[in-house]
Amino acid sequence: MNAVAVPELAAPALDAGKIALLGKLVDGLGPAELYWVAAWVAARAEGRAPAPAAASQASSPLTVVYGSQTGNARRVAERLVKELEAAGLPVRLLRADAYPQRELAQERHLVMVISTQGEGEPPDDARGLVEFITGKRAPKLPALKFAVLGLGDSSYPQFCAIGRQLDARLAELGGTRLAPLGEADVDVETVAAPWAAQALALAREALKAEAPAARVPALHAVPSVAAHDRDRPYPAAVLANQRIVARDDERDIRHLELSLEGAGLRYEPGDAVGVWPVNPPALVAQWLDALKLDGEQPVTHAGRSLPLAQWLGRERELTRLGRGWLAAHAEAAGDEALRGLLRPEHAVELAAVLEREQPIDLLRRHPAAWDATALVAALRPLTPRLYSIASSQAAVGEEVHLTVAVVDYRNQGEQRWGAASAFLAASEEDAGVPVFIEANERFRLPQDSSRDVIMIGPGTGVAPFRAFVQHRREQGARGRNWLFFGNRRFSQDFLYQVEWQQALKDGSLHRLDLAFSREEGLQKTYVQQRIREQGRELYAWLREGAHLYVCGDAKHMARDVHAALIEVIATHGALSSEDASAWLAELLQQGRYARDVY
């Protein structure tokens, strides 16, 4: 999302009560509606008589709803809305958790852009809406025209499962497809761009009988100070690149500090940094060796001509194995065993291969004669990696800090790497790392700084909570802060140990519960066990209005922590498991339970 500079506001002429009322009035409005309100107010200020009735001429606008965990779905939806507005079509944009479910029965034109997480789950901001649409209370929709774009990652078996589910359900409820279901992989634009163009054309046709959107005075956007975004990353100088685990630890975890000086980039605690990586040169050499190809050979693809080694190093995904690449390689190798993995009855085996293997592993075990041009066309484009920000700008100024677990291991005697983590680990001071800021609207500290905060972040999942504690310290927040942290060994990978100890001393951290699973002489313990042990007080904090945050591994940790939370709520709230689950789901809907999981 392009950052938009907001002009410095003068001291408000309104008191706090009126400002709060104004906030409530505009809450939930999309960009088009906010622009209309701004123009209406400007007309009033100039003594002109605005005509609010004109807005009602657009009796049936097109609604665009997005559900996004990492920002991709939001970005696609926002771009589609801009294109619809530019075409003069009446449109509104809503995040899934802001969509008024009661309006679905009257909806006439609906576009949904939604991602699928982990094992076929909706993003947190869309859970309520997905449950409503797929549940018994969903209304019949005979007058609805709809289109669904699903986003996913084909390295997971349940690729775009939520998009498929919603597309089928809306049709089952009587809706008519405005456009066919779109399914975008991690190289989102390959599918999203043509799908959006088709949806725009079909939306024009569907809405041509509608009255045009209200005309409002032109508003001139303030030129953006932040000229850097996903497509124009900022080359951030490396200020520090420090290993923060013991020398004899088998894992390498880094603390990086990057300079944003002069970039105009702003971020909030809870946001992420996107990093555009370069594949390790040694990995590119492995590919060229396995395929017996010349890295200097020029390859033309999509109107661009580059040496093959440059395609592989900077343009193509080499470390993440997806279903599409596996299928293409199975055909190139003529390998029935690989083809068989793609059959529905082998879903479990496929999931295991996609999780543990890299594409180079298939090249080694299942040789195929690829030519350079076909190879570049078959591989997915390289995509940025997102890292939770481990700093508050209130504390560090024009810097951003990251906590990075370096993927670096051996498989059958040959080295394997993670693209971004290896790139960052090798980045020397003053080197330029291409970065951008990815906002995470649902992972925000409470606006009321007197609220208590509970943070659960094992391993590198502790990164955003370093930012939270820094920010609350700078705020002078009156609310208490409670951190649950876990890792393998107290003596080797207690990340930011000195900082947490200092935070306990200065009062910016009020409680710290630790769990270590491999510390010699200590019983194996995980954070979910600590949650159960401290369940009575944790539940009391939640009952008193605390906000709860979880960050880290989605497949195991987040699921286990969620189950432990339900158990705590059921036990100490005297509820059934079902009612405890519903109570926690309500916290999620309210924004008091937020997860940043990957």
Supply the CATH number for residue 473's domain.
3.40.50.80
Q: Identify whether residues 149 and 184 lie together within a single domain.
A: yes
List, for residues 100-144, the tens digit of each pLDDT value: 999 999 999 999 999 998 778 999 999 999 999 999 999 999 999
Tens digit of each residue's pLDDT, the chain (598 residues): 333 333 334 445 565 555 655 665 655 554 445 545 665 565 555 554 444 433 333 457 899 999 998 889 999 999 999 999 888 888 999 999 999 999 999 999 999 999 998 778 999 999 999 999 999 999 999 999 999 999 998 878 788 999 999 999 999 999 999 999 999 998 898 899 999 999 989 888 888 755 444 443 333 333 344 579 999 999 999 999 999 999 989 999 999 999 999 999 999 999 999 999 999 999 999 999 999 999 999 999 999 999 999 999 999 999 999 888 999 999 999 999 999 999 988 888 998 898 889 999 999 999 999 999 999 999 999 999 999 999 999 999 999 999 999 999 998 889 999 999 999 999 998 889 999 999 999 999 999 999 999 999 999 999 999 999 999 999 999 999 999 999 999 999 999 999 999 999 999 999 999 999 988 777 899 999 999 999 999 999 999 999 999 999 888 899 999 999 999 999 999 999 999 999 999 999 899 999 999 8
Q: What CATH number does the domain containing 264 carry? A: 2.40.30.10
What phi and psi values does residue 574 have, to the nearest 5 degrees?
A: 55, 50
Inside any domain, residue 482: yes
**Strand pairing partners for 67?**
114
Q: Identify whether residues 63 and 163 lie together within a single domain.
A: yes
Q: Which two tokens stand for residue 467?
A: 């930012």
CA dihedral (522, 523, 528, 533) positive or negative: negative
Spatial distance between the Cα atoms of 95 and 71, rounded to a whole number of angstroms: 11
Question: Would you list the DSSP string of 424-465?
Answer: HHTPPTTPEEEEEEE--TTS---SSTTS-EEEE--GGGGHHH
Q: Identify whether residues 267 and 410 lie together within a single domain.
A: yes
Inside any domain, residue 36: yes
Burial of 234 (0-12, 13-18, 19+ CB in 10 A): buried
Q: What CATH number does the domain containing 349 carry? A: 1.20.990.10
Which residues constitute the domain of residue 262? 234-277+384-438
Q: Which two tokens stand for residue 565?
A: 């939370």
> Mapping DSSP to helix (H, G, I), strand (E, B) and coil, where does residue 183 land?
strand
Domain end marker among 359, 378, 397: 378
> Mapping DSSP to helix (H, G, I), strand (E, B) and coil, where does residue 295 land?
coil
Domain end marker among 378, 399, 426: 378
**Strand pairing partners for 206?**
none
Sheet holding 453-456, edge to edge: 511-516, 481-487, 453-456, 547-552, 593-597
Distance, CA of 332 to chain centre: 34
Closest CA to 481 of 447, 445, 452: 452
Q: Identify whether residues 105 and 46 lie together within a single domain.
A: yes
Q: What CATH number does the domain containing 196 carry? A: 3.40.50.360
Q: Identify whether residues 479 and 588 lie together within a single domain.
A: yes
Q: Which residue has the tokens 């279901």?
A: 181
Round to the nearest angstrom and report the end-to-end CA distance of the chain: 20
Closest CA to 158 of 336, 30, 350, 315: 350
CA dihedral (241, 247, 253, 255) positive or negative: negative
Distance, CA of 57 to chain centre: 36
Closest CA to 270 of 457, 94, 404: 457
Q: Identify whether residues 80 and 184 lie together within a single domain.
A: yes
Q: Identify whether residues 392 and 518 lie together within a single domain.
A: no
- State the pLDDT at residue 240: 96
Inside any domain, residue 33: yes
List, for residues 499-544, the tens digit of each pLDDT value: 999 999 999 999 999 999 988 777 899 999 999 999 999 999 999 9
Inside any domain, residue 574: yes
Inside any domain, residue 367: yes
Q: Which residue has the tokens 């209200």?
A: 214
Inside any domain, residue 226: no
Provide the 10 A C-beta neighbour count for residue 505. 9
| Helices 323-333 and 347-356, axial angle in degrees (round to 10) | 100
Inside any domain, residue 10: no
Helix (H), strand (E), coil (C) string for 331-386: HHHCCHHHHHHCCHHHHHHHHHHHHHCCHHHHHHHCCCCCCHHHHHHHCCECCCEE
Contact between 404 and 371 under an 8 Å Cβ cutoff? The reply is no
- State the pLDDT at residue 20: 56
Q: Identify whether residues 463 and 557 lie together within a single domain.
A: yes
CA dihedral (505, 506, 511, 517) positive or negative: negative
Q: What is the value of pTM for the model shown?
A: 0.83
Distance, CA of 340 to chain centre: 32
Inside any domain, residue 67: yes
Distance, CA of 484 to chain centre: 23
Q: Over the Cα atoms of the chain, what is R_g?
A: 25
Spatial distance between the Cα atoms of 225 and 219, rounded to a whole number of angstroms: 18
Q: Identify whether residues 396 and 325 lie together within a single domain.
A: no
Q: Identify whether residues 487 and 426 lie together within a single domain.
A: no
Distance (Å) of CA 29 to CA 23, 35, 158, 225, 456: 11, 10, 33, 25, 32
Domain end marker among 333, 356, 378: 378
**Strand pairing partners for 236?**
433
Cα angle 358-433-223, degrees, rounded to a multiple of 5: 120
Q: Which residue has the tokens 């990353």?
A: 233
Q: Which two tokens stand for residue 457?
A: 């972040």
Specify the number of domains making up the chain: 4
Position 143, amino acid: A
Q: Which two tokens stand for residue 527?
A: 């954070």
Q: Identify whether residues 342 and 417 lie together within a single domain.
A: no
Q: Identify whether residues 48 and 149 lie together within a single domain.
A: yes
